[in-house]
Amino acid sequence: MDIPARQAHTSRVFLWLFLTLNFFYILTSSGRVRLIDEVLPVFQTESIVQRGSTAVPQAVEARLFYGKFDRRGQPQAPYPPGPAIAAAPWYLAGRHVLLKLPGIPAGAQNLVTDFAIVLSNATFSALAVALAFVILARLGLAARDALRAALVIAFATPIFCHSAWYYSEPLTTALLLGAACALFTAADVERLPLGRIVVAGACLGATLWMRPTQALAVAVFMIAVALSGREDRWRVAALAAAVVALFGGAYLWRNSAMFGDPFDFGYPELAENGKRLNSFDTPLLTGLYGLLLSPGKSAFLFAPPLVLALAGLPKLWRENRGLAAAIMLTPLAYLLFYAKYTQYEGGYGFGPRYLVPGIVLLCLALGPAMRGASAGRKKILLALFTAGVLINAIGMATSPLEDQATGRYYDAHWNYRLDYNPLAGQGRLLLHYLTSPDPAPIGRGFDRWFVYLSKGGVATGTLAILAALTAAGAAFSAVRLRRALHGGDSRPPRNA
């Protein structure tokens, strides 16, 4: 099979993998928002679509405001508007499609539009995994092996859980993988095409509009380009950095216009409980223990395949130094930065939220780790995959907040408890709801959208049709994925 045919084959598998996962993640989504970090971006999306503004007067009215008033006296959330802008199409679909369906009472309309917005993360998570497949295929893995590794990422890492909630991590992950694909999978091209560089720069620049601390990843990616060994590496780094600077400059200009200071991101000095959240008071060893070894936030516990991914890094370094540097140094930068951060646990949530993009990047090393793997190593991967799926299943079955808002997660001073064990706590909740004859009230119990919306008053028939259509889409896409996988050469050359 020639190069264009191989590329077409990879593209077909990418498309059907993306659609399969998108439909599946929709089925497993919570479809609801619970925390300020989710509620305020929903309000931002609503304001952007309806008023062309990022101000969130809805949050003030609902007594849920966290942020600052800008120079015009408008309440602004401290979160960049990138996720809210990206979710606008889903909000419009909720208002103009879902709300037109029968069986949706007036009192449930906000629940339905929230559901539509949350589904954006099903799409962004699916896109991230599909891009991981493309990168793995271009590293020289057989399409079947690249797909297996991508599915490990899809279901045995925190991207699975985050596909069900409304945080910025899935979109950030997809953008970083898009940049990695553009920058580091064309080793056979002497001069990287300008279009690839612009795409990479735009992806990296857009991450700054997800969370300003993604400047860490941007810096790492520029270092990785310099380490890649490409003859045109300085040209690539300079052009990509120029594109990133446009995005970063626009964000700083927005801050200046709103708050009078380009480096005022809108965070209040104190949270509602009087605690300083945006400082770096955590002892480094405490943060490292929490993010690496604690039962509530350990990256290795919540993403078991990382163990094998680390084993693949030396081989990847020999084969593709630029990509290896990017996927190794980005999570390391996150780890060292957030280990000192006061709220290193990421607020209420399941697992190491801030490390999710880095975890997915690092899991790309599973490809080299499993190329030509022995039967024993394959069994280890299967065991790690199974553990990851079970951990995600426990975290998604019930709302993490239901277990955490009990005093077990934070102490009286709002410090994260290092002995908090979500698998035990949410495991007990799951067992309770499986065995209790009493129905759980709205917001509790089985944490799926069709259960939540049913309790909110949406007609059972409407929900059944939506679920059936989504399941049919997942099944049809899975069949086409299988056909696409079998329709091409199973062993493309490296970096094709």
Query: What are the per-10-residue average pLDDT scores of the chain (496 residues)?
Result: 78 97 98 93 96 95 93 95 97 97 95 97 98 95 94 98 97 98 87 96 98 97 95 96 98 96 88 74 96 97 97 95 97 97 93 97 95 90 96 95 92 92 95 92 92 96 97 98 79 44
Nearest-10 Cα torsion for 80, 399, 294, 416: 60
CA-based radius of gyration for the chain: 22
Nearest-10 Cα torsion for 98, 103, 104, 108: -130
Residue with tokens 């891009």: 131
The crossing angle, in degrees rounded to 10, of helices 306-319 and 375-397 is 130
How far apart are the C-alpha atoms of 327 and 332, rounded to whole Å?
9
Closest-CA residue to 374 (of 313, 308, 424, 327): 308
> Within a 10 A sphere around the Cβ of 30, how many other Cβ atoms?
25
HSE (CB half, 13 Å, CA atoms) of 18? 16
Inter-residue contact 329 to 145 (CB < 8 Å):
no
How far apart are the C-alpha atoms of 491 and 496, rounded to whole Å?
11
First to last CA, the chain: 11
Inter-residue contact 235 to 193 (CB < 8 Å):
no
Beta bridge partners of 55: 76
The two beta strands, 68-69 and 75-76, are antiparallel
Q: Which residues contact 61 (CB under 8 A, 6 or more apart)?
A: none
In one letter, which amino acid is 284?
Answer: L
Q: What is residue 7's predicted lDDT score, i.e. its pLDDT?
A: 84
> Within a 10 A sphere around the Cβ of 382, how many other Cβ atoms?
11
Question: Is 163 strand, coil or helix?
Answer: coil
For residue 303, CA distances in Å to 61, 256, 328, 365 come to 39, 39, 15, 13
Closest-CA residue to 287 (of 336, 246, 356, 217): 336
For residue 180, CA distances in Å to 22, 99, 124, 462 come to 21, 38, 16, 41
What does the domain layout of the chain look like in residue ranges?
A: 3-404
Per-residue pLDDT tens over the stretch 444-462: 999 999 999 999 999 999 9
Q: What is residue 413's predicted lDDT score, i.e. its pLDDT?
A: 86
Burial of 405 (0-12, 13-18, 19+ CB in 10 A): middle
- DSSP string for residues in 55-76: B-HHHHHTT---SEE-TTS-EE
Q: What is residue 1's predicted lDDT score, i.e. its pLDDT?
A: 58
> Within a 10 A sphere around the Cβ of 271, how many other Cβ atoms?
17
Q: Which residues contact 186 (CB under 8 A, 6 or more apart)?
A: 192, 193, 196, 495
Q: What is residue 190's predicted lDDT score, i.e. its pLDDT?
A: 84
How far apart are the C-alpha atoms of 370 and 384, rounded to whole Å?
13
Burial of 81 (0-12, 13-18, 19+ CB in 10 A): buried
Burial of 318 (0-12, 13-18, 19+ CB in 10 A): exposed
| Residue ranges in 306-455 assigned as alpha helix (H) | 306-319, 321-340, 356-362, 366-370, 375-397, 400-404, 422-435, 449-455
- DSSP string for residues in 257-302: HHHS-TT--S--SS-TTS---SS--S-HHHHHHHHHT-TTT-HHHH
Q: Which residues contact 357 (CB under 8 A, 6 or more apart)?
A: 169, 172, 173, 176, 217, 330, 334
75 phi/psi in degrees, rounded to 5: -75, 125
Q: What is residue 380's predicted lDDT score, i.e. its pLDDT?
A: 95
> Within a 10 A sphere around the Cβ of 190, how many other Cβ atoms?
9
| Token pair for 81 | 């508007």
The whole-angstrom distance between residue 185's C-alpha and the CA centroid of its chain comes to 22
How far apart are the C-alpha atoms of 256 and 253, rounded to whole Å?
5
